[in-house]
A and B are shown apart, each in its own frame.
Chain A
Amino acid sequence: MILGEGTEGALITELVFWVIALSTVVSAIAVVQIRDLFRASLFLIVTLLGVAGLFILLRAEFLAGVQLMVYVGAISVLIIFAILMTRDLEEGSTSHSFRIPVALVSLILMGVSIYAISNTEWNIIGSETLNPDQMNQAAHVFTNGIPTLAKLLLRDFVLAFEVVSVLLLAAVLGSLALVRGR
């Protein structure tokens, strides 16, 4: 029983997608538009939750779980801690002279990414184009996604994985060294 497997079930998937996507986009706009910094950070959390929901719709449950744990659970709390230390918390940042250039750049960025997404040849697996053997293979990947991911991360790409963790460690040590003073 897979959500959206047949043609009729796809309707509910679409409904859920639009609800999640709309709330994600609206709260993302709210993050940058709301003056109160604390509320803006709460809207950021809603955005991150929405992204986790999109991951689930894409059948990437592991990524959704990690998104919940790392971004919603840890990073947003750090952001809130940092915000509580700022002055003039309810005023937010004052307006600056870069408003129009920033808006232009982000519009261009949005256009480029929409163009790139719509013009990429996505390798979509459709149920009608696959023979049963390939179907079984796809089902195996979906049900055993986490062991496959672990094998890729910790065997095939272990060097990149370790380099990233060393980089993060260096960042932590560097910030400690900066904060420590004389």
Chain B
Amino acid sequence: MNHFPGFVDFYTFYELSLKIFQYFGFGDNAQWMSYLTAGVIISFIVINVMILSTAFYTWFERRVLGRFQVRRGPNRNGPFGIFQPFADVLKLIMKEDTIPSEADRPVFTLAPIALVAPTLLIMTVIPMGENSFLGSLNIGILFIVGVTSVNSIAIFMAGWGSRNKYAILGSMRGAAMLISYEIPMALGITSVLLMSGSLAMTQIANSQDIWFIVVMPLGFFVFMAAATAEISRTPFDQIEAESELGSGYNTEFSGIKFAILFLAEFMAPIVTAAVVATLFLGGTKGFDPIPGQIWFALKMFVVIFVLLWFRATWPRLRVDQIMGFAWKGLFGLGIFNIFIVAIEIMIFKTEDGTIGTSNMLIMSGINWIIAIVTLLGLMRIYGHKKLERPTPVPSPLANMGLEVD
């Protein structure tokens, strides 16, 4: 695969500014100054690229949701309504920024920032070219799992800070859900780590001669379901169940704080798509005339569309159903998948510790059969009982009118 030459990462800017500072004769100070400069430039790039792509993503999401619901979606501002997000942001900035009088002011103010920062941090370790923005981090995927877990605290801060019972209810539900779904997500990631033998994102992407979605569909299923829950989108949006909780944890927020909360919420699918593309869809791998970055963007787009599809077609789950799905369904499936993959690696491993392409194909054949059988079996066990309708009991009031006559 080929890449556009010279993907921007931290060290590109570091060396560039080192040269510049040394040219101007800073001597000994040049090194730490260029570290700072490179850090600032990289942060600026990541933040702005993510905010812009989130803006266009909100437009895309609303258009596609409109199509799913047989209506048009935003179509007034600019061609196809593409300037709608800018109008939205302008409106939100101009709104009054209210803080409830009982609110815990610093906590309330910091909550949106605490929610958006982890999402941005994840983006810095994703290898979108030959490298990620921060160069290659040794513990890439562990960093992602760790940083994701800060989310639940931010949601707690938003809910508790606003002193609103709906907000607290939403954030309690959210924290319970996020902690539960972190476990199946980690289990899905573990099976990827078993195959790739490394925690670094670049190495994980490079070890996928055959995409891991083909090799272990069960792991992909577990990870994808858990990731959808982690970003709390519609089948799992207990955090802000509009029909039950007002708007959940963001009930009291308005103005720019609300804008930042929504920025974090709509940035999450993009980041998730990037993680899924790296872990299961082979990262920048593709065939040759098209450069790797374009492949990566295409894969991200497909995953984003699938996430949108989930959102548009599935109704919201109940609280107990969500927890049951995590602990009774995904948890067991994840552990089962790890066992299968580990046993297969023991069998198929060659002397130099790698698994050849042909062996990977055999593995994927076995795994697909196992996945289909397991999922069908589980659906038979769990599904039918839930779907059976109870025999209707006539209400004692049903014949009231007749008795009077």
Residues of A within 8 A of B (CB): 1, 3, 6, 8-9, 11-12, 15, 36, 38-39, 42, 45, 52, 61-62, 64-69, 72-74, 76-77, 80-81, 84, 143, 145-146
User: Can you add 4 more A-B contacts, CB < 8 Å, to A67-B146, A84-B160?
Assistant: A8-B31, A66-B146, A68-B146, A146-B138
Residue pair B150, A72 in contact (C-beta under 8 Å): yes
Residue pair A74, B139 in contact (C-beta under 8 Å): no
How many pairs, one residue from A and one from B, have CB atoms within 8 Å of each other in the complex? 89
**B150 — nearest CB in chain A belongs to which residue?**
A72
Residue pair B153, A80 in contact (C-beta under 8 Å): yes
Distance (Å) between the CB of B386 and the closest chain A CB? 28
Distance (Å) between the CB of A69 and the closest chain B CB? 4
Q: Which residues 65-110 of B sit at the A interface, judged by CB distance below 8 A?
A: 104, 106-107
Residue pair B32, A8 in contact (C-beta under 8 Å): yes
Residue pair B139, A42 in contact (C-beta under 8 Å): no
**A12 — nearest CB in chain B belongs to which residue?**
B32
B378: Cβ under 8 A from any A Cβ: no
Q: Name the one of B29, B107, B147, B152 contacting A77, with C-beta atoms under 8 angstroms.
A: B152
B261: Cβ under 8 A from any A Cβ: no
Distance (Å) between the CB of B184 and the closest chain A CB? 15
Interface secondary structure of B, over-half rule: helix
CB-CB under 8 A from B142, the residues of chain A are 61-62, 65-66, 69
Given contacts A39-B107, A72-B153, A77-B153, contact A65 B146 (CB under 8 A): yes
Residue pair B152, A6 in contact (C-beta under 8 Å): no
- A–B complex contacts, Cβ < 8 Å, 15 sampled: A1-B135, A8-B32, A12-B35, A61-B142, A62-B199, A65-B143, A69-B149, A72-B146, A72-B149, A73-B152, A73-B182, A76-B153, A80-B175, A84-B172, A146-B138
Residues of B within 8 A of A (CB): 11, 14, 28-32, 35-36, 104, 106-107, 135, 137-139, 142-143, 145-150, 152-153, 156-157, 160, 172, 175, 179, 182, 199
**A145 — nearest CB in chain B belongs to which residue?**
B138
CB-CB under 8 A from B36, the residues of chain A are 12
A65, A69, A84 — most chain B CB neighbours (10 Å): A65
Bound: A62/B193 CA distance, A: 14
Bound: A80/B107 CA distance, A: 14
Residue pair B32, A9 in contact (C-beta under 8 Å): yes
Bound: A65/B147 CA distance, A: 9
Given contacts A74-B149, A80-B153, A145-B138, contact A38 B32 (CB under 8 A): no
CB-CB under 8 A from B172, the residues of chain A are 84
CB-CB under 8 A from B160, the residues of chain A are 38, 84
Residue pair A11, B104 in contact (C-beta under 8 Å): no
Residue pair B179, A15 in contact (C-beta under 8 Å): no
B28, B106, B199 — most chain A CB neighbours (10 Å): B199
Residue pair B146, A69 in contact (C-beta under 8 Å): yes
Given contacts A38-B104, A80-B156, contact A8 B28 (CB under 8 A): yes
Given contacts A39-B104, A143-B138, contact A9 B149 (CB under 8 A): no
Distance (Å) between the CB of A100 and the closest chain B CB? 31
Residue pair A74, B179 in contact (C-beta under 8 Å): yes
Given contacts A73-B149, A73-B182, contact A42 B107 (CB under 8 A): yes
CB-CB under 8 A from B199, the residues of chain A are 62, 146
Q: Name the one of B107, B135, B139, B182 contacting A65, with C-beta atoms under 8 angstroms.
A: B139
Distance (Å) between the CB of B375 and the closest chain A CB? 29
Residue pair A38, B107 in contact (C-beta under 8 Å): yes
Q: Name the one of A73, A80, A143 contacting B146, with C-beta atoms under 8 angstroms.
A: A73
CB-CB under 8 A from A45, the residues of chain B are 153
CB-CB under 8 A from A146, the residues of chain B are 138-139, 199
Bound: A72/B149 CA distance, A: 7
Given contacts A69-B146, A72-B153, contact A77 B179 (CB under 8 A): yes
Q: Name the one of B14, B31, B137, B147 contacting A11, with C-beta atoms under 8 angstroms.
A: B31
Residue pair A62, B139 in contact (C-beta under 8 Å): yes
Bound: A3/B34 CA distance, A: 12
**B199 — nearest CB in chain A belongs to which residue?**
A146
CB-CB under 8 A from B175, the residues of chain A are 77, 80-81
Residue pair A8, B30 in contact (C-beta under 8 Å): yes
Which 7 residue pairs are nearest across A and B when measured between Cβ atoms? A73-B149, A68-B146, A65-B142, A12-B32, A8-B31, A69-B146, A61-B139
